[in-house]
């Protein structure tokens, strides 16, 4: 989908007032098969316009952000990775590295995981097309943080099929960008002092999955934070099917479309999407998954018009291949050791209050107090993100200074 349809996603929609982007420079090399090139430099005025004009237009509410103190240089990083679900097939992925012009050789580092988008370039390494990325650049890189953001497999410069909510590939893409970004930092005689993770919506889920991966391999993370994170995809989609709310977003069908085709491809289950989607909608859903231009008005907004009736039976859903894969994709059921804050909105049309608090409630049930769930008030999906970001920054600032 293109144009206004991008507004039907969990993540970004382009804004007309995006900062001007310079022509990409020639690629430079860093160790490990990593290429990087400068794609833009945003000055303080541009960054503050993002905070004061662009973000309120995107989120639908005004928030007080810390004004930018320095300009930022934006690099598109190309780096090798693998797709674990495809037998560790080698892939080439892209992501963003935003470096503040502070003159400091050691910088705190934030890895930001983006929300769902249709357009392949509505991702961090094409920051002018990603309002959420622009906010993160302005608020963090504009205040002296280095910022990275993976585009995920199948997005940005990747030529692979999109791996939407495919947990292992999300973990691999984000962890490998961290390695690649550190190679670029080292090549430029820079280093990072504190590692923070953050993400919104789908990116909140990916942040939790990345945290699980980094804790498993023993890589220190100083803190992690999310907004509107679907930490349990099975619970999220089950709720839409069987316990719909009046405020549920009209584009919820997007989640079923993207995940069914992605799971079919990456988990090797031919026919999975056909079993889920009604035959009359299969072709247009496939085109939408593939990133082709389709008329969003032709996609049903009612789940019962889009999905096979059998999936509305909770027992069938739980026993189905699709339901089992969703259940296996959870990203909160381990003993979390990193300080973690999950922000949720009380009028979020995508993530329920219970889902927003789920990781904290589970961890507290086993006696673990590392996780906090914090309300942003009666905020929408985008509003929750907009209000969470300054909370993330204040917390990260305090930890970096401690």
The pLDDT value recorded for residue 14 is 33
Among 307, 328, 349, the domain-final residue is: 328
Per-residue confidence (pLDDT) for residue 16, from 0 to 100: 34
Distance CA 165, CA 228 (A): 15
| Domain boundary residue, one of 282, 307, 328 | 328
Q: Find the helix or strand (DSSP H, E) in which 169 lies.
A: helix 167-187
Query: φ and ψ at 45, to 5 degrees?
Result: -60, -45
Q: What is the mean pLDDT of residues 299-315?
A: 96
* 90 and 226 share one domain: yes
Give the model's pLDDT for residue 80: 98
Kindly state the DSSP code that residue 6 receives in the 8-state scheme. Answer: G
User: Which tens digit of pLDDT belongs to each residue from 77-114?
Assistant: 999 999 999 999 999 999 999 999 999 999 999 999 99
Distance, CA of 274 to CA of 285 (rounded, Å): 10
pTM of the model: 0.94
Q: What share of the chain is helix, strand, coil (3-state, %, to 5)?
A: 45, 20, 35
**Do residues 56 and 62 touch, judged by C-beta distance below 8 A?**
yes
For the stretch 160-194, pLDDT in tens is: 999 999 999 999 999 999 999 999 999 999 999 99
202 & 189 share domain = yes
> 219 and 249: one domain?
no
- 243 and 179 in a single domain? The answer is no
Could you list the residue range(s) of the whole structural domain that residue 374 is in? 3-232+338-401
pLDDT at 241: 98
- The whole-angstrom separation of Cα 154 and Cα 171 is 14
Q: Are 155 and 210 found together in one domain?
A: yes
Q: Name the average pLDDT for the chain.
A: 94
* 183 shares its domain with 239: no
Q: What percent of the chain has pLDDT over 70?
A: 94
Asked whether residue 87 falls in the same domain as residue 186, the answer is yes
The number of distinct structural domains making up the chain is 2
**What confidence category does residue 9 fall into, taking pLDDT thresholds of 50, 70 and 90?**
very low
Based on the fold, state whether residues 50 and 147 are members of the same structural domain: yes
Indicate the DSSP class of residue 161: P
pLDDT tens digits for range 16-52: 344 554 555 789 999 999 999 999 999 999 999 999 9
Find the range with the poorest average confidence among 26-30, 199-203, 204-208, 263-267.
26-30
Domain endpoint, select from 278, 298, 328: 328
Asked whether residue 333 is domain-assigned, the answer is no
What pLDDT sits at residue 212? 98
Q: Dihedral angle at the C-alpha atoms of 226, 87, 123, 165, nearest 10 degrees?
A: -40
Cβ(198)–Cβ(41) below 8 Å: no
What CATH code is carried by the domain that includes residue 12? Answer: 3.40.50.1820
Whether the predicted pLDDT of 293 surpasses 60: yes
Check residue 23 and give its pLDDT: 57
Which has more pLDDT, 24 or 341? Answer: 341
pLDDT digits (tens, 9 = 90+) for 351-397: 999 999 999 999 999 999 999 999 999 999 999 999 999 999 999 99
CA distance 229 to 96: 21
* Gyration radius of the chain's alpha carbons: 20
Kindly state whether residues 268 and 383 are assigned to the same domain: no
In a shared domain, residues 89 and 116: yes
User: Per-residue pLDDT tens for 223-264?
Assistant: 999 999 999 999 999 999 999 999 999 999 999 999 999 999
C-alpha 271/C-alpha 284 separation (Å) is: 16
- Look at residue 294 in the predicted model and tell me its pLDDT: 87
At residue 5, does pLDDT exceed 90?
A: no
Distance CA 262, CA 278 (A): 17
* Averaged pLDDT for residues 122-150: 98
* 373 lies in the same domain as 350: yes
Asked if 353 and 221 sit in the same domain, the reply is yes
């Amino acid at each position: 989908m293109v144009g206004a349809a991008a507004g039907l996603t969990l993540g970004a929609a382009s804004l007309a007032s995006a900062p001007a982007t310079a022509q990409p420079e020639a690629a430079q090399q860093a160790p490990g098969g990593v290429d990087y090139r400068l794609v833009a430099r945003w000055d303080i005025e541009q960054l503050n316009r993002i905070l004061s004009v662009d973000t309120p237009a995107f989120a639908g509410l005004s928030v007080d952000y810390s004004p930018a103190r320095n300009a930022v240089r934006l690099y598109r990083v190309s780096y090798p990775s693998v797709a674990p679900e495809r037998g560790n097939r080698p892939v080439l992925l892209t992501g963003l590295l935003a470096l503040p012009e502070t003159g400091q050789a050691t910088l705190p580092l934030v890895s930001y995981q983006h929300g769902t988008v249709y357009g392949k370039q509505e991702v961090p390494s094409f920051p002018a097309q990603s309002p959420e990325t622009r906010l993160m650049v302005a608020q963090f890189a504009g205040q002296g943080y280095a910022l990275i953001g993976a585009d995920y497999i199948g997005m940005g410069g990747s030529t692979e099929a999109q791996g939407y909510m495919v947990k292992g590939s999300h973990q691999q893409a984000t962890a490998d960008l961290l390695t690649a970004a550190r190679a670029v930092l080292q090549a430029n005689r820079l280093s990072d002092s504190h590692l923070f993770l953050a993400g919104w919506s789908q990116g909140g889920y990916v942040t939790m999955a990345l945290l699980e991966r980094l804790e498993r391999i023993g890589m220190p993370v100083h803190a992690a934070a999310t907004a509107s994170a679907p930490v349990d995809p099975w619970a999220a989609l089950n709720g839409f099917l069987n316990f719909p709310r009046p405020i549920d977003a009209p584009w919820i069908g997007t989640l079923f479309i993207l995940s069914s085709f992605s799971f079919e491809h990456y988990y090797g289950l031919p026919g999975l999407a056909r079993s889920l989607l009604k035959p009359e909608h299969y072709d247009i859903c496939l085109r939408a998954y593939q990133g082709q231009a389709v008329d969003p008005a032709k996609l049903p907004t009612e789940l019962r018009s889009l999905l096979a009736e059998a999936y509305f039976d909770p027992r069938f859903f739980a026993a189905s291949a699709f339901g089992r894969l969703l259940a296996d994709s959870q990203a909160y059921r381990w003993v979390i050791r990193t300080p973690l804050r999950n922000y949720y909105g009380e009028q979020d049309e995508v993530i329920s209050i219970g889902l927003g608090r789920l990781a904290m409630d589970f961890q507290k049930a086993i006696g673990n107090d590392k996780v906090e769930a914090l309300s942003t008030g009666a905020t929408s999906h985008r509003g929750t993100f907009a209000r969470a970001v300054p909370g993330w920054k204040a917390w990260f600032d305090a930890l970096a200074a401690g």
